[in-house]
Amino acid sequence: MNSAPQISGTIAYVTFLNNAVALLPHFTDRRLPFILQLYPGGGFELNQEGTDTKLRSVLTSPLCRKVITTQTITRDYIKSDRIGCECEKIVYLFGGVFKGARTFDFNLDKKMFPRDKHNLDLCFVAHKYNGDIRSKGFDYFVELAKALSRDISELRFHVVGEYNVNDVPLEGIEDRVKFYGRQPSEFFPEFYAGMDGIVSVNRPFILTPGAFDGFPTGACLEAGFHGVANFINDPLGLNPGFKDGKDILLIDENIAASAAKIEAVLRDRDRLATLGWGAYHAFRQVVDIDQQLALRTDLIASELLALKRADLAGTPKPSR
């Protein structure tokens, strides 16, 4: 925020709550209206007094023109009596601005078993925070891998993130799990092109009491952009309409039942390909970067026009 003293313009656009809190004094000094894009994380947690104080200071500011919410739980939380954000300020735009995989063609670039490779490949992709292995479900992934390995000899497992062989006992699958560590964005296009499925079982409120992830996670969206079948849970009921069994496969904390569902897909090549295509097609339709940017650009333009009209009408600018 070292450049904050040089902030100027007609309207500002800021992402994440903590950034908005840090910039609010500068917006206030300059009487600069702003739009907040409120993603999960970045200082936004549920039912936490510290977060609530931040939200109230930002969202009740007369300079806050709009707040973009990308998850229904976020929208409902900030309009509740607990926060009291005016409904007129809230705009719900599911998803987010993700680069995606615009050059990836499912029919040309997707590597399929056994046509293009000798193994079936499942991956787990997530950051590890403060040594925690439960909030993103790494412990679940390992137990699921053990269950699936018993009957599918071609299955291999891939872990991207700060996890390692010492986090959870692998007990019999040591030679079938590969750890990649943390990787840059350039790593993922080729990696996901060879993956058959991604497993994500998120557990809200474990990393910290109010922490939660959006649905699907960023890693799952990126995997889906590359035709990777999504085997994922939805503990907070955030699914906006992706079809279970077509676009995604919903699993839960019951490892045995989830393993059976996934195994049935892995043993049916047509069904596995259908799920990969389903994620590829549905995610690109719903979270298309051009569409997402257009929606936000239209919102900014609308607010700029409203500010211009108010200026021409001589309406006083919002106070500090």
Summarize the confidence of residues 230-255 as an average pLDDT.
97
Q: Which of 211, 210, 232, 212 is nearest to 221 (CA)?
A: 232
For residue 83, the model assigns a pLDDT of 96
Of the listed ranges 46-55, 102-111, 162-171, 180-189, the least confidently predicted one is 102-111
Of the listed ranges 45-54, 56-65, 89-98, the least confidently predicted one is 89-98
3-state secondary structure 87-133: HHHEEECCCCCCCCCCCCCHHHHCCCCCCCCCCEEEEEECCCCCCCC
For residue 254, the model assigns a pLDDT of 98
For residue 151, the model assigns a pLDDT of 93
pLDDT at 2 over 60: no
Q: Which neighbouring-strand residues pair with 263?
A: none
pLDDT at 5 over 70: no
Tell me the Cα Rg of the chain.
Answer: 22
For residue 142, the model assigns a pLDDT of 98
For residue 289, the model assigns a pLDDT of 85
Q: Which of 195, 132, 129 is nearest to 158 (CA)?
A: 195
Go through the domains of the chain in sequence order and give each one's CATH number.
4-98+288-312 (3.40.50), 106-286 (3.40.50.2000)
For residue 317, the model assigns a pLDDT of 60
In the block, which residue shows the tokens 């909030």? 135
For 275, counting Cβ atoms within 10 Å of its Cβ (0-12 exposed, 13-18 middle, 19+ buried), the class is buried
pLDDT band per the 50, 70, 90 thresholds, residue 288: confident
Q: Which neighbouring-strand residues pair with 160?
A: 125, 181
pLDDT at 281 over 60: yes
pLDDT in tens, 11-21: 999 999 999 99
**Under a CB-based contact definition with an 8 Å cutoff, are residues 208 and 45 in contact?**
yes
pLDDT in tens, 183-211: 999 999 999 999 999 999 999 999 999 99
What values do phi and psi take at 296, rounded to 5?
A: -75, -35
For residue 290, the model assigns a pLDDT of 86
CA distance 277 to 279: 5
pLDDT at 1 over 70: no
pLDDT in tens, 108-130: 999 999 999 999 999 999 999 99
